[in-house]
Amino acid sequence: MTNTKVYLEIVKQLRAMISADGLKTGDKIPSERELSERLNVGRSSVREALRALELLGLIETRRGEGTFIRDFRGNQLVQLLGTFILQDEKAKKDVVETKNLIEMDCLRLAMYRINPRQLEKFKEQVAADQVDDDEFFYRIMEWSDNHLFARIWLILKDYYYSLNLTKDEYKRNSFLSILEALENKNEEMTLEAYRNLRNLSISTDKY
């Protein structure tokens, strides 16, 4: 028995509990003692689970008050991972590669789902230097209308920045090329413009 560690089980239960009760950002979750009693486990095990979730930035704890669900987009763990782990060269490479591929996927999606009027308006903003790389792709993510991809991308983006690689310089012209290609619904041109933006050679070994 006891194959699964108790604290992991508690994490699971918490997730179920949050889902069942429809709790959302800012809501309070049961106290440590109550959880301990309700789940028939020691309070220390409950704490192990809560501390882990806290470090992940999923919950927030205030002494004397309680524990609350948090908007987890916070850096918290990104910073931690940045300083802690990402020494693994292969992992870094995977992050960069994955981020690029997802961006390309979303460009493809956006191409078919984009609203011409919005695109036109966005082009003007880009032309006026009012959009940076982040905002540009955030918009692409919106247009691609795939929340799951967007979520994953947000995480990867934070990793990416924490890696502190070559800072992408601002490339207005590449942005405009991409938008134009999207407007013409030309996949090949879109990807070509993207590769130019990211300084990628055409799909060879390195994406």
Partner DNA sequence: GAGATGGGTGTGGTCTGACCACTTAAAAAC
Partner DNA sequence: GTTTTTAAGTGGTCAGACCACACCCATCTC
Q: Find the length of the chain.
A: 207
Q: Is the dihedral of CA 180, 128, 146, 196 positive or negative?
A: positive
Q: Tell me: does residue 97 bind its own copies (CB under 8 A).
A: yes
Single out the segment in contact with its own copies by CB under 8 A; choices: 27-35, 71-79, 114-122, 176-184. 71-79
Structure tokens at 66: 């309680």
Beta bridge mates, 66: 62
* Residues 6 or more apart in contact with residue 7 via CB below 8 angstroms: 45, 46, 48, 49, 52
Interface residue with its own copies among 25, 115, 118, 173 (CB under 8 A) is 25
Q: Which is nearer to its own copies, 23 or 127 (CB)?
A: 23
Phi, psi for 188 (deg, rounded to 5): -60, -45
Question: 66 contacts which partner out of DNA, its own copies, none, CB within 5 to 8 A by kind?
Answer: DNA
Interface residue with DNA among 20, 22, 40, 164 (CB under 7 A) is 40
In whole angstroms, give the CA distance from residue 96 to residue 132: 19
In whole angstroms, give the CA distance from residue 181 to residue 93: 28
Interface residue with its own copies among 29, 35, 41, 58 (CB under 8 A) is 58
In whole angstroms, give the CA distance from residue 146 to residue 186: 20
Provide, rounded to whole angstroms, the least separation between the CB of residue 117 and its own copies.
18
CA 40 to chain centre: 35
Single out the segment in contact with DNA by CB under 7 A; choices: 1-9, 77-85, 147-155, 178-186. 1-9
Q: Tell me: does residue 19 bind its own copies (CB under 8 A).
A: yes
- DSSP code string of 35-85: HHHHTTS-HHHHHHHHHHHHHHTSEEEETTTEEEE--TT-STHHHHHHHHT
Q: Tell me: does residue 36 bind its own copies (CB under 8 A).
A: no
Q: Tell me: does residue 202 bind its own copies (CB under 8 A).
A: no
Interface residue with its own copies among 17, 30, 68, 108 (CB under 8 A) is 108
The contact set with its own copies (CB under 8 A) reads 7-8, 11, 15, 18-19, 24-25, 44, 47-49, 51-56, 58, 72-74, 77-78, 80-92, 94-95, 97-98, 101-102, 104-105, 108-109, 112-113, 146-149, 151-152, 155, 159, 187, 203-205, 207
The contact set with DNA (CB under 7 A) reads 1-2, 5-7, 31-34, 36, 40-45, 47-48, 50, 61-67
